[in-house]
Amino acid sequence: MGTLGKAIYTVGFWIRETGQALDRLGCRLQGNYYFQEQLSRHRTLMNVFDKAPIVDRDAFVAPSASVIGDVQVGRSSSIWYGCVLRGDVNSISIGSGTNIQDNSLVHVAKSNLSGKVLPTIIGSNVTVGHSAVLHGCTVEDEAFVGMGATLLDGVYVEKHAMVAAGALVRQNTRIPCGEVWGGNPAKFLRKLTEEEMTFISQSALNYTNLAQVHAAENAKSFDEIELETMLRKKFARRDEEYDSMLGVVRETPSELILPDNIVPDKAPKAA
């Protein structure tokens, strides 16, 4: 953004601030009879000057998440509730099918002890657990970062590698393919099994499917929510054995049935 663009941005900012100041003045003049509406300034997607997030139309960003500045989110990825992705002094790139779970923080590095300018790059089909911190690091495709783990500047996690929950990975550490690292500071623990590698891919797919349900729920209007609340009360299910004793058959409306890939089918009871 050039000098003219910044000047126009500043003028727009002061016009908005002036309007809010006039609103506060009017409320004071009305005394005890005024009505003040409290508005949240939270924005799920927020630009920093000319740096604006680019989010694929098939990605899910929770309403309470904050995606700020130079951030790219790929197809079918999901940014969950309470996450902060702040690409203000550098860029953040997230591939397709990746999930950044609740309350995680992703930031970038403009300066550090090693003098490197580091973006944060997260590949495809990556799972980042709840409350993890990723700062100026690179995570390759189909890697796994456990809950509460911290990855510092320059960390490189290779494909099919796993960072255990609560681990602190020091600067410029490289975690090779197929290894589990954990502890504070993190160190090699053991090799991943074939089942664990399969789990990493399945975990990403599970969150992709779950994100579709949350995206649909968050897109509902107030009237749709009220209708479903009424239907749930009307068609509330009792215990199946209790219903069979009374000869009652209850049908669940199609609107309340989740997809099969979200809720597994119940095994039929033996006669």
- pLDDT (tens digit per residue) in 167-213: 999 999 999 999 999 999 999 999 999 899 899 989 999 999 999 99
Does residue 166 register a pLDDT over 70?
yes
- How many helices and strands in the chain, by DSSP H and E? 4, 20
- pTM score, whole prediction: 0.73
pLDDT in tens, 43-80: 899 998 888 999 999 999 999 999 999 999 999 999 99
d(CA 122, CA 125): 9
d(CA 50, CA 14): 18
Stretch 225-251: mean pLDDT, rounded? Answer: 71
Does residue 271 register a pLDDT over 90?
no
Superfamily of domain 45-196: Hexapeptide repeat proteins (2.160.10.10)
Does residue 263 register a pLDDT over 60?
no
The answer for residues whose C-beta is within 8 angstroms of residue 48's C-beta and 6 or more apart is 68, 69, 70, 87, 88
Q: How confident is the model at residue 267 (pLDDT cuts 50, 70, 90)?
A: very low
Does residue 245 register a pLDDT over 70?
no
Question: Residue 138's beta-bridge partner residues?
Answer: 121, 156
Lateral strand order in the sheet of 78-79:
60-61, 78-79, 99-100, 127-128, 144-145, 162-163, 179-182, 187-191
Residue 29: strand, helix, or coil: helix
Q: How confident is the model at residue 252 (pLDDT cuts 50, 70, 90)?
A: low
pLDDT in tens, 76-115: 999 999 999 999 989 999 999 999 999 999 999 876 666 6
Look at phi and psi of residue 198 and say left if phi exceeds 0, alpha if psi is from -120 to 50, else beta.
alpha
pLDDT at 141 (0 to 100): 94
**Locate tokens 């649909």: which residue?**
216
Does residue 150 register a pLDDT over 70?
yes
Lowest mean pLDDT among 40-44, 77-81, 224-228, 261-265: 261-265
Q: Where are the domains of the chain?
A: 45-196
Does residue 40 register a pLDDT over 80?
no
